[in-house]
Structure formats: C-alpha cells, structure tokens
Amino acid sequence: MTPIQTDIVVLGAGPGGYAAAFYAADLGKKVILVEQEKRLGGVCLNRGCIPSKALLHASKMVHEAEISAQRGIEFGSPKIHLDKLRAWKESILEKLGQGIATLASKRGVEVMLGRGYFEDSQTLRVETTEGQKFVKFSKAIIAVGSKPALPKAFDLGNKRIMTSTEALELEEIPKSLLIVGGGYIGMELGTVYAALGSEVVLVEAMGSILAGADPDLARPVMRYAEKNFKEVRLNAKVSKMATSGKNIKVNMEFGDKCVEEHYDRVLVSVGRTPNCYDLGLKNTKVERDDKGFIKVNSKQQTADPNIYAIGDVAGGLLLAHKASKEARIAVQVIVGEHAEFKDILIPAVVFTDPEVAWCGLTEADAKSKNIPVKVVRFAWAASGRALSTDKTDGLTKLIIDPDTERILGVGLVGSGAGELISEGVLAIEMGATALDLASAVHPHPTLSETLMEAAEVFYGHSTHTLSAKK
Amino acid sequence: MDIRIPNLGEGAESGSVVSLFVKEGDKVAKDQTILELENEKAVAPIPSTHSGTVKKVYVKVGDKVSVGQAILSLEESGGSLTSQNIPQEILSQPAQVQRPVKSIPGIPPPASPSVRKVAGELGVDLMQVRGSEAGGRIVMADIRAYIASLKSASASERIDSEHSRSIDFSKWGPVKKTALSSLRQKIGQKMTESWTTIPHVTQFDEANITELMTLRKKVGAAYEKKGARLTLTHFVMKAVVAALKKYPQFNSSLDEGSQELVTKEYFHIGIAVDTDSGLIVPVVRDADKKSLLDLAKELDALAEKTRQRKVSLDELKGGTFTISNLGGIGGTFFTPIVNKPEVAILGVGRGVLKPVIIKNKTKEKVEVRLMLPLGLSYDHRVIDGADGARFICAIVETLENFDPKLVKL
C-alpha cells in the first residue's frame, strides 16, 4: 500500500491539535489531522471545558431563580428535564464539533478518523474504518491529551464510580454524590450536581480546596460550597470503596474519625494522566518522564527530531489555552520561525460560583520564593456593578513590585472573573505598572473598574474604598 | 527609601566596599558615614543622604558596587521621598543601557510579547537590557540602544580578546603572577579610552631654563624658610596658566553628545603623581589666583596625600589641564596621553645641559644652556597644529623670560 505523503501530521484534534493543524495549513503546509473520535475537539469540546460550562450555566440559572425571590420575583421550584438538558448540551457540542470539521475542510486539512500508531520516526499507521493507512510525514505533532486518573483502588468497574467524563454525560441526578478531590473539576461538577438537586459531599486530602489559588480567592468558593453542598471535608482521605447493592460503600478518614457511608454515586477527580500509551512511541526516539508525560524542550521538540508534542500530553498545566499556545510555537518552530515557550503567562480560571481566576505571580508564590511584593485588594462589596447584580462576594487583587510598581500578578474571585482576568494577562504581558492600570479609564458601572480601583489602592487614593496612605 | 552610591567623580563609576558601618535596625543620621568604598583612586567614605532606620542592607564587604546602586533602604524618620531630596548626581545619571533596572528571580523582564519576540530573534538577552519606560519596561528603542552599545563595545572587545588568551609563560622560565589592582585596571581603561577616541598630536619644543634655574637658586632658601620647596613644576604651572589664558581652547572640553566646546573660565591644573600603586592625578584649583609660594605649599601637601592614597575624590575632579613632569626621574621627550575630558597635556622631561648655537647679529657662538624638553599632546579635534605650536611657544617664552616679580615673596 502506498503511503500518503504529508508535511505535517497532527495526532489528536483537541484544542492543541486542531489549532496546530489549522495554523500549519494557513502557513501553506500540507497537513493531515488524525483523530480517533468521530467528533473533533478533543476532551475540551467533548468531555471537558465546553460541556461543563454548559451545565454550569444551566445550574447557575437554578441558583439565580432561587435567589431572585428576595428581589421580588419568584419562579417557583425548578423542574429539571434531564433528557432535554442533556440534548441541549449535546447540541452545543455537535455545533462546535461541526464547526471545527468545516474549518478543517475549508483550509484543506485532511481529517483522518482512526487510531494513530507510530511505525517509526517518519511513519504513522492509522486504523481507519476503511482499513489501515500509512502516513509518511516530515514532522509530526503529538497532541493526544490526557484522561481523568482513576486510582486502581477505586476502579471497581462500577459505573456509579464516575470520573469527569461520565459525570458530564449526566446519566442521572443521584440523590447523594460523593466527590473525591477539591480541585477545579471537583468544585465545578459539585456546583452542577448540587444545583440539580444532589446532596453533595466533597472530600479533599489537602487543607484547602482549589490548590494553586490564593486562599483569599478560594474563600468565597468555599463559602458557596459550605452553603450549597451537604458538606465539605478537608484533610480527609477515602481509604476504600466497595459496591454495595445500588450504592457505593465508602470508608473515609477525616479528623480523628473513620466513617463508613453509602452514596448513590461517586465522582473521582484526583488528577489526569497522559494518553500516550499504545501510540508506538517505542518505535521513535520520543522520551517520557516518570509520570508518563512526553518530554519536550521549550520549542515543543521531543527527543525525536521529527516529532513535537503539545498540550496535556507534554505535561505542565493541563489547560486548553496552554495547548493552543504550544500549538502555535510548535508550528512556528517547524516552519523555521523563532518561537519558544518562555515567559508566557497562562491564566487559570475556575468556573465555580463565584468564578476564580488568576495569572502571573500569586501571593503564595511570592511568599514561598521570597519575592517582596505589595498586595492590594479591592472588595467587590464597594462596586456598584457588583451590588446591582447581586454579586458582591468578590475580590480583585494585584500583586505589585513595590520598587518598579510593575504588576506581577492578578487574582480575581467573583462573577465573570474568567472574563476579567484577560485584562490582567495583557497588563502583565505588556509589563504594565499599577499607574498604567489606574490611569486607563474603565467604563462605569462595570466589574472591570475593580481592576482600576485596586491599582488606585496601591497609591492610596481609590475612589470607592478607604485605604491607608501609601 | 533607598540610599544609593553617589556620583564619585569622572572615571570612578564603581568601587569595592571595604568597610560597612551600619547594619539592619541601626539608626543613621544624615551625612553619617555608612560605608567606605575603595575605588581606583582612593578610599572614600560614603555618607547617608538621609536620616532614619536601616531597613535592609543590600551590600556586604567585598562587593563591587556602581554609581546609582542601592546600598541600603532606610525607613525615614520624617519627610518623604521627593525629587528635591534625591541627590542631583543621581537624577542626572544617564541611563546605562547595559544594566537592567531591577531583576526579580523567576519573573521575566518587563517587555511586551512583540518586543520579546524581536529580542528572541536577535538573540538579545532582555535581562541585560535597561528598560526606559515606567517600571523598567523595555521597548523597541531600548533594544536598539542596547545593540548600539554592544557594537561600540565590540571593537575594543576584539582587541581584548586577542590579548585575553592566556599564555603559559612558565614554559620558558619561572614567573610570578599578580592580580591587577583596581587602580591599574582603571588606568588601563582610561588610557585606552583616551587613546582610542582622541586623535592625538604631540608637539615638541625645548625651553632654555638656565636663567630660570638661577632665579630659583636665588630665592630657594627664602622659600624654604616659609616651608616650601620651590621646584620647576611650579614654574611650569605658572607658564601653563599664562598660555591657557592666551589660548583658551586648551582649557576646554569637547561635549561629544551636544557637539559643543565647553571652555572653562577657571584654571584647575592636574599634576600627575607617581604612587606605589600607580598614576594618580590630583588637581590644584585656581592655579591662576595663587602665588608661587601657595602653589608650592599646596602641591607638596597634595602630592604627599596622594602618595598615601588619602586624597579625597573631590581633589581628583575638575581638572582643566594636566602636567606630567618626569624630569625628576630622567628621560627627555615623551608623548603623554591626553587626560580625557581635558583636551591637552604637557609632558616635561629632564633638563640637560646642551651646546646651543647663539646667533647674535652677525656672530654665531656656541654656549652651554640648560634645555628643558617639552612634549605637548592635544586633541586634534579641538586644536589645530598651528595653535599647538603657538601654545608650546608661549610656554617656552614664559619659562625663558620668567617675570621675577612673580617669584617675590
């Protein structure tokens, strides 16, 4: 069988892979995009960012309707039609997946559906429905992503023990749901299921939820969880799970207690593992680290000169926007431009209620690295926009270098924090000072004013808050 | 607020901390000495510009520090930082392209993504670039300036690199290695800079100082009674001042930035002094207003202080013309290097008795005269050859017909 020749083959059509394929095609390369699933878009579109945000939006409506009563508008208790909700979510994914396929074909990117396997450093074998195909490539970009980790002890083959993948399928609304892991996935899905009516118990092994976020940013999320979940247990550890009829029996240690409880379902959200097994990497020079992630340098190059890796499979922050950035870098390097993943800010957003977002240096980072900084905060209770939309549980903070007044970090918690953080990213990427941020006029009344006012706090003259003189 | 290394004078941009008198938590008064800095020329006490409590000390003994660098941070007891209480020297410091404003470990230098991309393409390490905008932000112009500074440095570096290759001289016999003192290094830098940036011309002449030396002998004892040893250098100083007054372009500096000639209306004469550690040039102020006796006394004291390296930085600054008299050691003509930013220097050799043909109306005869070899080096960008000749003739003229009134006590 004659192999198909191509400049670049991209393995995996998630936000890293399709971004790489499209960009390479835009730069005039012949590109084949290999994906084993029917619908393009990867975890992000099918089992991650997009479905979770759709469900979070729906559950936000439940919550909004609830608190609307105190503003004088009552909706009564919500009736949830799970089939409809699932279908609506599914329609979004279908629309986006179609969109990616259209964009690919308009660019002349050949999409090859099937499993990819490296025969050697120049050949990828693809198992398509029409049989095996061989792709001879000059360069390959591996973008096969990651999947939720399910520790062996919890892997009972019982569908009542879910990862985020199954939880987003929304098969049913369990009466009681145990969530293991208080990271952003656990917190987001906990918010969804709690709004849909589940009694959620969340356990976290560490002393706080949302590891990586500064404690003052995580606190409003904790407050929400304490109010809307049945319970949040910190420093707690699940020691055992077992099938018990239609339930899952869970043994757990927290405080000095050991308890045995029964849950309808369990969601395990304790991290993710790379998808790079059974790719034929042993036939190439690609190397992996001890956690299984593919080792790359700052140019996204693996140990094999023909093969690049981007996104989750290359380790680091497992975020779609990081994958898309790496896609650009890999393609630029392949076409001979100067590009490097260096000093690039990757913002983090948690779409809980309220949202949490941060970028650059965190306060905790500054402390642990002994970087002297000045932290200024603007509480949303002083924002007219926050008050008029009933979203006062929020905080905007800036981490500033006291000498140069340069903004080193931005942290936000509150409604729409995920949208607001981009201004922080731009400020830091551009090397802006607090004065720059304070001097730029922000429209009133908006939540974006909180960034400007926080910068004014640095100088001791914020309009809407009293601050100690600098 | 931060207390910084003040401007230490021309050619003295850095030094090493030899002693540190304060620690964190100490209270310091304004003008209190906080550390001593050994630079190329002297050990200088650095005073605090403010009073307050020491919050943090940024330097330790042995550190090499530069002008403008923060020494310690002070919590002020009163008042706040305004431009009025920042020493003028710091405000007037030109931006040094090579030194970044501040680097924070783990935090990239402040520059927009597009600037970083260009820097990456050009292979410029942004950590080395000084940003000109608020917070030290680096913009495209800063990268251009940095590259320009690299280019101008690269010429001298090329010379350096040829010499910097270590040769193992012990292959041919025993050797002894001595580290260059910072004074030696500084002299090297200054000489290289002067020699490579100033187009030099050296004009020679001889002065008949037979009568001058007779005059000196006559008054020498009287001067010694007043505690001064009158030497040729003092006469040369007077002769130089007279010539400078006649030809003021020799008493100037060339401002290369603004392309202006700055002519000074004061006459501060630098005298090259041979010390154990190397050449140092202290400056006698207002040499035109001082009597020979005062000049003799002052120069003697200044030279002694210089040899003991106790001369203050102020006493090394502000010269308008330099005299290097090697006559005490020997040798005849030599070609001194202009002491930048001055534009001329006079090298004086040892006076020797010579047969000189004297032409008197119709008769020619040979006489024995004490002839002083002189070499005047000057910056040909500022001074033309004709003026160089005029200037040295004026000096010779003064020395040969020295006004006895000037010698009177």
Q: What is the mean pLDDT of residues A312-333?
A: 97
Q: Is the pLDDT of residue B10 over 80?
A: no
Q: Is the pLDDT of residue B134 over 90?
A: no
For tokens 């309009």, what's the residue?
A463
User: Three-state SS string across chain A, please?
Assistant: CCCEEEEEEEECCCCCHHHHHHHHHHCCCCEEEEECCCCCCHHHHHHCHHHHHHHHHHHHHHHHHHHHHHHCCCCCCCCCCHHHHHHHHHHHHHHHHHHHHHHHHHHCCEEEECEEEEEECCEEEEEECCEEEEEEEEEEEECCCEEECCCHHHCCCCCCEECHHHHHHCCCCCCEEEEECCCHHHHHHHHHHHHHCCEEEEECCCCCCCCCCCHHHHHHHHHHHHHHCCEEECCEEEEEEEEECCEEEEEEEECCEEEEEEECEEEECCCEEECCCCCCHHHCCCCECCCCCECCCCCCECCCCCEEECHHHHCCCCCHHHHHHHHHHHHHHHCCCCCCCCCCCCCEEECCCCEEEEEECCHHHHHHCCCCCEEEEEEHHHCHHHHHCCCCCCEEEEEECCCCCEEEEEEEEECCHHHHHHHHHHHHHCCCEHHHHHHCCCCCCCCCHHHHHHHHHHCCCCCCCCCCCC
- In this structure, the answer to whether residues B70 and B112 fall within a common structural domain is no
Q: Is the pLDDT of residue B84 over 50?
A: no
Pick from B109, B120, B137: CB nearest A338: B120
Interface touch A405/B134, C-beta < 8 Å = yes
Q: Is the pLDDT of residue A294 over 90?
A: yes
Using DSSP bridges, classify how beta strands A4-11 and A131-142 pair: parallel, antiparallel or unpaired.
parallel
ipTM greater than 0.90, yes or no? no
pLDDT number for residue A58: 94
pLDDT number for residue B158: 59
Closest residue on chain B to A342 (Cα): B108
Cα–Cα distance measured from residue A169 to residue A51, given in angstroms and rounded to the nearest whole number:
9
User: Binning pLDDT at 50, 70 and 90, where does residue B72 land?
Assistant: confident
| H/E run at residue B119 | helix B113-122
Lowest mean pLDDT among A68-77, A210-219, A434-443, B121-130: B121-130
Give A404's contacts in chain B (Cβ within 8 Å). Answer: 101-102, 110, 134-136
- In this structure, the answer to whether residues B129 and B242 fall within a common structural domain is no
Q: Is the pLDDT of residue B100 over 70?
A: no
Q: What is the mean pLDDT of residues B147-175?
A: 73
Pick from A339, A371, A405: CB nearest B104: A371
Residue A259, beta-bridge partner list: A252
Q: Is the pLDDT of residue B310 over 90?
A: no
Pick from A369, A432, A435: CB nearest B106: A369
Pick from A371, A405, A431: CB nearest B112: A431
Q: What is the mean pLDDT of residues B251-255?
A: 94
Residue B179, beta-bridge partner list: none
Q: Is the pLDDT of residue A240 over 90?
A: yes
Q: Is residue A348, in this structure, part of any structural domain at all?
A: no
State whether the Cα torsion B392-B397-B403-B409 is positive or negative.
positive
Q: Is residue B7, in this structure, part of any structural domain at all?
A: yes
Most confident of B44-48, B75-79, B314-318: B314-318
Structure-block tokens of residue A295? 């080792």
Cα–Cα distance measured from residue A397 to residue B325, given in angstroms and rounded to the nearest whole number:
68
Structure-block tokens of residue B180? 């260059």
Q: Is the pLDDT of residue A252 over 70?
A: yes
pLDDT number for residue B96: 40
User: Binning pLDDT at 50, 70 and 90, where does residue B165 land?
Assistant: low
Give A455's contacts in chain B (Cβ within 8 Å). Answer: none
pLDDT number for residue B5: 80
Q: Is B202 helix (H, G, I), strand (E, B) or coil?
A: strand
Domain finish residue from A270, A290, A320: A270
CB B372 within 8 A of CB B399: yes
Cα–Cα distance measured from residue A375 to residue A398, given in angstroms and rounded to the nearest whole number:
6
- How many other C-beta atoms can be found within 10 angstroms of the C-beta atom of residue A32? 24
Q: Is residue B213, in this structure, part of any structural domain at all?
A: yes
Q: Is residue B108, in this structure, part of any structural domain at all?
A: yes
Q: Is the pLDDT of residue A345 over 60?
A: yes
- In this structure, the answer to whether residues A294 and A215 fall within a common structural domain is no
- In this structure, the answer to whether residues B372 and B248 fall within a common structural domain is yes
Catalytic residue annotation of B: 380
- In this structure, the answer to whether residues A16 and A141 fall within a common structural domain is yes
The chain-wide mean pLDDT, for chain B, equals 85
Interface touch A401/B113, C-beta < 8 Å = no
User: Binning pLDDT at 50, 70 and 90, where does residue B36 land?
Assistant: confident
User: Binning pLDDT at 50, 70 and 90, where does residue B98 land?
Assistant: very low
Most confident of A222-231, B27-36, B105-114: A222-231
- In this structure, the answer to whether residues B74 and B119 fall within a common structural domain is no
- In this structure, the answer to whether residues B330 and B255 fall within a common structural domain is yes
- In this structure, the answer to whether residues A253 and A285 fall within a common structural domain is no
Is residue A246 within 8 angstroms of chain B, CB to CB? no
Give A430's contacts in chain B (Cβ within 8 Å). Answer: 112-113, 137
Q: Is residue B182, in this structure, part of any structural domain at all?
A: no
pLDDT number for residue A436: 92
Interface touch B137/A369, C-beta < 8 Å = no
The size of the A-B interface in CB pairs under 8 A is: 58
Structure-block tokens of residue A441? 């006029």
Catalytic residue annotation of A: 444
pLDDT in tens, B172-207: 899 998 888 888 888 888 899 999 999 999 999 999
- In this structure, the answer to whether residues B333 and B391 fall within a common structural domain is yes
Cα–Cα distance measured from residue A189 to residue A362, given in angstroms and rounded to the nearest whole number:
25
Is residue A404 within 8 angstroms of chain B, CB to CB? yes
Lowest mean pLDDT among A230-234, B54-58, B341-345: B54-58
pLDDT in tens, A400-432: 999 889 999 999 999 999 999 999 999 999 999
- Measured in Å, how far apart are chain B's first and last C-alpha atoms? 54
Interface touch A406/B135, C-beta < 8 Å = yes
- In this structure, the answer to whether residues A36 and A86 fall within a common structural domain is yes
For tokens 């890796």, what's the residue?
A309
Q: Is residue A467, in this structure, part of any structural domain at all?
A: no
Give B112's contacts in chain A (Cβ within 8 Å). Answer: 429-431
- In this structure, the answer to whether residues A20 and A135 fall within a common structural domain is yes
Structure-block tokens of residue A326? 């790496």
pLDDT in tens, A107-164: 999 999 999 999 999 999 999 999 999 999 999 999 999 999 999 999 999 999 999 9
Closest residue on chain A to B112 (Cα): A430
Give B113's contacts in chain A (Cβ within 8 Å). Answer: 429-430
B274 secondary structure, DSSP code: E
Q: Which residue has the higher pLDDT, B310 or B78?
A: B310
| H/E run at residue B356 | strand B352-360
Domain of B134?
Answer: 98-145
Q: Is the pLDDT of residue A19 over 90?
A: yes
> Structurally, how many domains does chain A consist of?
3
Pick from B102, B105, B137: CB nearest A431: B137
Peptide bond before residue B341 is cis, with ω within 30 degrees of 0: yes
- In this structure, the answer to whether residues A223 and A134 fall within a common structural domain is no
Interface touch A361/B105, C-beta < 8 Å = no
Cα–Cα distance measured from residue A327 to residue B309, given in angstroms and rounded to the nearest whole number:
64
- In this structure, the answer to whether residues A281 and A255 fall within a common structural domain is no
Domain finish residue from A270, A287, A305: A270
> Structurally, how many domains does chain B consist of?
3
- In this structure, the answer to whether residues B2 and B110 fall within a common structural domain is no
Interface touch A433/B134, C-beta < 8 Å = yes
- What is the least distance, in Å, from the CA of B14 to any CA of chain A? 23
Cα–Cα distance measured from residue A348 to residue A185, given in angstroms and rounded to the nearest whole number:
13
Closest residue on chain A to B115 (Cα): A430
- In this structure, the answer to whether residues A170 and A55 fall within a common structural domain is no
Q: What is the mean pLDDT of residues B79-94?
A: 36
Q: Is residue A464, in this structure, part of any structural domain at all?
A: no
User: Binning pLDDT at 50, 70 and 90, where does residue B151 land?
Assistant: confident
Pick from B105, B116, B133: CB nearest A343: B116
Q: What percent of chain A has pLDDT over 70?
A: 99
- In this structure, the answer to whether residues B400 and B340 fall within a common structural domain is yes
Q: Is the pLDDT of residue B17 over 80?
A: yes
CB A400 within 8 A of CB A406: yes
Helical ranges in B200-321 per DSSP H: 210-225, 232-246, 292-307
- What is the least distance, in Å, from the CA of A9 to any CA of chain B? 26
Q: Which residue has the higher pLDDT, B155 or A469?
A: B155
- In this structure, the answer to whether residues A76 and A28 fall within a common structural domain is yes
Interface touch B138/A343, C-beta < 8 Å = no
What is the separation of C-alpha B381 from the centre of its chain, rounded to a whole number of angstroms? 20
Domain of A264?
Answer: 152-270
pLDDT number for residue B86: 36
Is residue A340 within 8 angstroms of chain B, CB to CB? yes
Q: What is the mean pLDDT of residues A192-205?
A: 96
Structure-block tokens of residue A465? 């808050």
Q: Is the pLDDT of residue B241 over 90?
A: yes
Is residue A202 within 8 angstroms of chain B, CB to CB? no
Interface touch A408/B107, C-beta < 8 Å = yes
Pick from B102, B110, B120: CB nearest A340: B120
How buried is residue A152: exposed, middle or buried, by Cβ count under 10 Å (0-12/13-18/19+)?
Answer: exposed
Give A433's contacts in chain B (Cβ within 8 Å). Answer: 134-135, 137
Q: Is B45 helix (H, G, I), strand (E, B) or coil?
A: strand
Q: Which residues of B touch A (CB under 8 A)?
A: 101-102, 104-113, 116-117, 120-121, 131, 133-138
pLDDT number for residue B83: 34
Which phi-psi region, left, alpha or beta, contains residue A321 (left: φ > 0; alpha: ψ -120 to 50)?
alpha
pLDDT in tens, A75-93: 988 999 999 999 999 999 9
Q: Is residue B169, in this structure, part of any structural domain at all?
A: no
CATH number at residue A210: 3.50.50.60
Q: Is residue B171, in this structure, part of any structural domain at all?
A: no
pLDDT number for residue B8: 67
Residue A141 has, within 13 A of its CA and on its CB side, a CA count of 39
CATH number at residue B110: 4.10.320.10
- What is the least distance, in Å, from the CA of B190 to any CA of chain A? 34
Structure-block tokens of residue A133? 């195909």
Give B105's contacts in chain A (Cβ within 8 Å). Answer: 369, 371
Domain finish residue from A253, A270, A287: A270
Closest residue on chain B to A373 (Cα): B104
- In this structure, the answer to whether residues A52 and A13 fall within a common structural domain is yes
CATH number at residue B41: 2.40.50.100
**Which of A149, A137, A116 has its CA nearest to residue A293?**
A149
State whether the Cα torsion B224-B230-B231-B233 is positive or negative.
positive
Peptide bond before residue A443 is cis, with ω within 30 degrees of 0: no
- What is the least distance, in Å, from the CA of A456 to any CA of chain B? 16
Q: Is residue A394, in this structure, part of any structural domain at all?
A: yes
CA dihedral A86, A164, A39, A81 (to 10 degrees): 0
| H/E run at residue B90 | helix B88-91
pLDDT in tens, A46-64: 999 999 999 999 999 998 9
Residues in chain A: 470
Give the phi and the psi of residue A434 in degrees, each rounded to 5: -60, -35
- In this structure, the answer to whether residues A12 and A135 fall within a common structural domain is yes
Using DSSP bridges, classify how beta strands A265-268 and A176-180 pair: parallel, antiparallel or unpaired.
parallel
Cα–Cα distance measured from residue A388 to residue A384, given in angstroms and rounded to the nearest whole number:
6
pLDDT in tens, A359-403: 999 999 999 999 999 999 999 999 999 999 999 999 999 999 998
Structure-block tokens of residue A453? 């006012």
- Measured in Å, how far apart are chain A's first and last C-alpha atoms? 75
pLDDT number for residue B145: 87
Q: What angle do CA A228, A413, A397 make, to 5 degrees?
A: 150
Q: Is residue B170, in this structure, part of any structural domain at all?
A: no
User: Binning pLDDT at 50, 70 and 90, where does residue B154 land?
Assistant: low
- In this structure, the answer to whether residues B206 and B328 fall within a common structural domain is yes
CB A362 within 8 A of CB A409: yes
Lowest mean pLDDT among A117-131, B59-73, B283-297: B59-73
- In this structure, the answer to whether residues B237 and B288 fall within a common structural domain is yes
- In this structure, the answer to whether residues B79 and B120 fall within a common structural domain is no
- In this structure, the answer to whether residues A211 and A241 fall within a common structural domain is yes
- In this structure, the answer to whether residues B212 and B235 fall within a common structural domain is yes
Q: Is residue B165, in this structure, part of any structural domain at all?
A: no
